[in-house]
Amino acid sequence: MIKKPWMKNSLVYLLITIGVIVVFYTLVPALNNTAEISITEVITKAQRQEIGEIVVQGEKLTIIPRLTESGAGLKFTSRMSEQTDIVSLLTENNVEIGPTGVQVTFKGSGGFGSIFGILLNFLPLIFFGGLILFMMRQAQGSNNQTMSFGKSRAKMMTFDKPSVTFADVAGVEEAKTELEEIVEFLKYPERFLALGARIPKGVLLVGQPGTGKTLLARAVAGEAGVPFFHISGSEFVEMFVGVGAARVRDLFEQAKRNSPCIIFVDEIDAVGRHRGAGLGGGHDEREQTLNQILVEMDGFETNTNIIVVAATNRPDILDPALLRPGRFDRRVTLDLPDVIGRQAILNVHSKGKPLSPEVKLDTLAKETPGFSGADLSNLVNEAALLAARKNQKSINMPEFEEAVERVIAGPERKSRVINPREKEMTAYHEAGHALVAWSLPHADKVHKISIVARGAMGGHTTLLPEEDRYLWTKNQFEDMLAVTMGGRIAEELIFDEVTTGASNDIEKATKIALGMVKRYGMSKALGPRTFGKREELVFLGREMNEERDYGDRIAEEIDHEVQRFIAEAYENAQRVIIEGKPKLVQLAEYLIQHEAVSGDELAVLFNSDESPEDGNSGNPAVPPQIPPTVPADTQPNLGGLPPHPAPSLSADHGITP
């Protein structure tokens, strides 16, 4: 039973109130409208026939004056000893007692009045005692809070009415199939136990950020209808030694009391890194926490019905003891969704939102390769915000297309002032990228060209692959290199000078060429071998340097081959731009006038010698900008994960995406 906060200190507040009242009446006795006189004065007033009645209540005497023409006077009080008899005393002093003299009335000394008097006498002691008790309880509560460091901070949730189910998870059908067994075991454990089957004690969800690891774990708990303990790996570690291990023990004790249940540890790599790599050696706090996790997971009884689900995007740095059978028996990989998965995710997040009939989610799915589930969720939300900003009753396709660019590069920088010459150079730069991409057979198709500043970008050319790509060929890499060189070549051809706008293009081309030579073995001169061994510091969780496993002569050959790939791409792009110079000028002039082109207008520009009519072009819809394609050598593969579909290349004007 949980006590309400306002009830905890009610007794103390009551005592304080009573104490204030007692002090008030003690310090202001005039409120009683009485004055105390001696017993001798009482006898004297009685002899003068000034007293009408005397009320005796124990030792206290209340003297009521006799009525006169002016009314009754003030009452008096007096006190006498217990051995004194007021009647005898009055008789001895010749005071008449009776109706014609002084009436003497006796009242009981016990009852409520006596009890109240006793309480008034002892109330100060009660008040200060309650105050001391209150202070002691506060101090005890502080001590309890101090000693609660070892308590688990896991949040327990029950799913009587599950808010998240498998229906809310899309794009990871294989992962859901793997986890259906977990749900079946938690619902019907006797079905498995009767056959002698053993359910995995732990499930490790592996995937890039935003692929839905946490959402999938919540869906498992919602489908199974069991308690769900959620905690982050970083919450185990504190500055005090042994706190992490104590919290692990407390977490598993809570889980055993609420079994069957699920324990979900998010970002387990915070405490599950390789042992022996920390600064503290074997006594490192993180290692002690990991050791306790290993003991608790391996110490499960067969009938506890507790399943540990953990999530990480760095499985390569986890301790091998954590991944062995008996602990995390099953590894479920959540990859970036393909085109079918992206459409399913868009359908989930667009439920309940008023979409215009013109919205084609399948088209959006094709235009968003490389997007994770979190990116697509943010995309739908941004589109809804844009529609609300325009006071629309439904969400239209232009809002979705604008939302894609906002998710990638941020909002348009409409307030940015660009001088005419820079605007013209940017137009020719982006037109150069687009012309080369349109002309080469192995390059992705041009989807949109824009010279509108967005975020940190001055302009961009968006390329979309016709389908999801899992493998790259040498021809595709060579055409990609040529596309990156197209902007610089267009500037040289038209303006006869070189600008800083191609700095990011050159950096991108160098990385692609290095990957072709050192990692993919695409150089005929060096043959099919890799060069360099990447070293990764586990404790820091990042690649710090590369061990050189080749000599100086091979290093010169690598430099020569990288230079050759870039030079050949430069010559190829230069040939395309010189041959298509009229088309380059036509495209750049259209960009200067309209700032963006896509869709049908773009097809007309490339396939005819005439520019599209301004009346038909209007303000072209803003198609999505897709993240730039980066070869696999610049994106380290996490823990042996299979490569995900490569996003399209977006060549920008001098800005790193």
| Active site residue ranges | 430
Edge to edge, what strands does the sheet with 460-464 contain?
596-598, 445-450, 460-464, 650-652
Give the whole-angstrom CA distance, residue 199 versus residue 502.
56
In order, the DSSP letters of 256-271 are HHT-SEEEEEESGGGT
Give the whole-angstrom CA distance, residue 580 versus residue 101.
137
Give the whole-angstrom CA distance, residue 361 versus residue 343.
6
Q: What is the identity of the amino acid at 641?
A: L
Q: How many CA atoms lie within 13 A of 292 on its CB side?
A: 22
Give the whole-angstrom CA distance, residue 151 versus residue 162.
27
**End-to-end CA separation in angstroms for the chain:** 56
CA distances 2 to 5, 8, 136, 257, 448, Å, are 9, 11, 21, 19, 61
**Tokens 């599209």 belong to which residue?**
612
Give the whole-angstrom CA distance, residue 63 versus residue 74.
9
Give the whole-angstrom CA distance, residue 154 versus residue 228.
9
Phi, psi of 124 (to 5 degrees): -55, -40
DSSP H/E element including 401: helix 397-409
CA distances 391 to 337, 381, 395, 449, Å, are 33, 15, 10, 29
What is the 3-class SS of 331-395, one letter each residue?
Answer: EEEECCCCHHHHHHHHHHHCCCCCECCCCCHHHHHHCCCCCCHHHHHHHHHHHHHHHHHCCCCCE
- Residue 189 · residue 260 · CB < 8 Å: yes
Give the whole-angstrom CA distance, residue 44 versus residue 93.
9
- Residue 583 · residue 492 · CB < 8 Å: no
Q: Is the dihedral of CA 167, 169, 173, 176 positive or negative?
A: negative
Helical H segments across 496-613, by residue range: 503-514, 552-579, 581-594, 599-607
Q: How many CA atoms lie within 13 A of 416 on its CB side?
A: 17
Buried b (16+ CB within 10 A) or exposed e, 61-100: bbbbbbeeeeeeeeebebebeeeeebeeebeeeebeeeee
